[in-house]
Amino acid sequence: MQSNYSNDLANADILCFSHLRWDFVYQRPQHLMSRFGKSRRVFFIEEPVHHDGETGWVFSEVEENVVRCVPKLPRNLGGSEEALMQHLVEALSEKYECRKAIHWFYTPMMIDWTTKCEAIATVYDCMDELSKFKFAPGGIVDLEQELFGLSDLVFTGGNSLYKAKKDQHRAVYEFPSAIDTAHFRQALFIHDEVPDQSCLGRPRIGYAGVIDERLDLDLVASAAVLRPEWNFIMLGPVVKIDPETLPRHPNIHYLGMKDYRDLPRYFAGWDVGMMPFALNESTEFISPTKTPEYLAAGLPVVSTAITDVIHPYGELGLVEVVNGPTDFVTAADRVMSSNKIERLLKVDMFLSERSWDKTCKEMNRLINGISEKPVRAAKPVAIGRSASLSFAT
């Protein structure tokens, strides 16, 4: 008799385990899970929040068919956090009748949480080399190897990560940062200024994203000194670094974190999108989502020499790749006077193949093609192995 396993996968719920919170910067996990939610239920499971109350869940529907699941644990936990999370995830599966589900991981630190639930398929969407980030937990490299052993599919967030992971698993697929072009293309037709940016003169050089150890803040400071008549706008949360250490100049403006829905309104008032990343261990494998977002909004883009920006964006002439502050301001001067129509034509051709919808469709195809396998057996918990990453990306 023919197996219905593929049909089961096509309709299966997803338990998504993420070190990034849903209400943090809107990026790859939110883009993908919101799209998977159009055809199946998604449970977006975050790291625990410790409080003075009882153990339990806080559930909220953040998108159609996407439930955000935040575990609340006692501040003074007497036993193993892993064992407690196993029981909480099992209780969630019972509550929503999703005991047989696809287990989707953004971090290997949560793999012990699922040992009381049956995975009909396991996916590791490796969007970053987390072991290279500041405050990365010990043991994450070994746990990733364990996750490779459990996974049916491994997706990577860019070409550099693909090259680093392709020999570690039998089924590794590259899915670079994609784009919701229609959302960011709104910037071309917005003429009203957002209030907190309207008072700033032109030109405006903008950055949108997490402000952390991956940015070359010295480059931003030096560029601001070299071009005191320019305004440098920084959107996003400050994490893992002391806000007091941020460069302070009259023409550098920290406007805080903004809702994803409002980003086109800010981009509409910029003259250049910048990606001033440091060239260090934490940026070796990054594939910034902001690259296609800036481009779709019609902005010329200047970036430091990040590998996944050089290839393909720099090689195709879509992004100016620079080294150092003098090179940065020279390139920014140049791109501000470039032909916008020609740039948009090149951008449209490239981005037509990079939509989140297309990425989700191809991931679905690969998931539905997974062959049936034995159910993963439960295993004892490694006492003391913490799931918390204790850092944001």
Q: Quick check: 279 pLDDT over 70?
A: yes
| Pick from 220, 219, 303, 206: nearest CA to 258 | 206
| Pick from 101, 99, 144: nearest CA to 126 | 144
C-alpha dist (Å) from residue 96 to 13, 89, 93, 360: 10, 11, 5, 24
The two domains 5-178+358-368 and 181-351 share their CATH topology (first three levels equal) = yes
120: CB partners within 8 A, 6+ apart: 5, 8, 9, 12, 100, 101, 102
Model confidence at 132, pLDDT cuts 50, 70, 90, reads: confident
Q: Quick check: 384 pLDDT over 80?
A: no
Question: Would you state the structure tokens that stand for residue 265, as one six-digit string?
Answer: 């309104």
- Higher-pLDDT residue of 384, 85: 85
User: Residue 307: which H helix or E strand, with range?
Assistant: helix 307-309
**What is the dihedral angle through the alpha carbons of 109, 110, 111, 117, rounded to the nearest 10 degrees?**
170
| Pick from 85, 73, 66, 72: nearest CA to 26 | 66
Q: Report domain 181-351's class.
A: alpha beta
pLDDT in tens, 302-338: 999 999 999 999 999 999 999 999 999 999 999 999 9
pLDDT in tens, 102-118: 999 999 999 999 988 88
Model confidence at 373, pLDDT cuts 50, 70, 90, reads: low
pLDDT in tens, 20-62: 999 999 999 999 999 999 999 999 999 999 999 899 999 999 9
Query: Please, what is the end-to-end C-alpha distance for the chain in angstroms?
Result: 47
User: Parallel, antiparallel, or unpaired for β 66-74 and 56-63?
Assistant: antiparallel
| Pick from 153, 174, 115: nearest CA to 312 | 174
DSSP state of 29: H
Model confidence at 6, pLDDT cuts 50, 70, 90, reads: low
Give the model's pLDDT for residue 134. 76
Q: Quick check: 372 pLDDT over 70?
A: no
Q: What is residue 181's three-state secondary structure?
A: helix
129: CB partners within 8 A, 6+ apart: 161, 164, 284, 285
State whether the Cα torsion 155-275-312-131 is positive or negative. negative
Extents of the domains making up the chain: 5-178+358-368, 181-351
Tell me the whole-structure pTM to 2 decimals. 0.91
Q: Quick check: 391 pLDDT over 60?
A: no
- Higher-pLDDT residue of 348, 76: 348
Question: Would you state the structure tokens that stand for residue 360, as one six-digit string?
Answer: 């989700």
Per CATH, domain 5-178+358-368 is 3.40.50.2000: yes
Model confidence at 77, pLDDT cuts 50, 70, 90, reads: confident
**Bridge partners (DSSP) listed for residue 126:** 156
Give the model's pLDDT for residue 49. 95
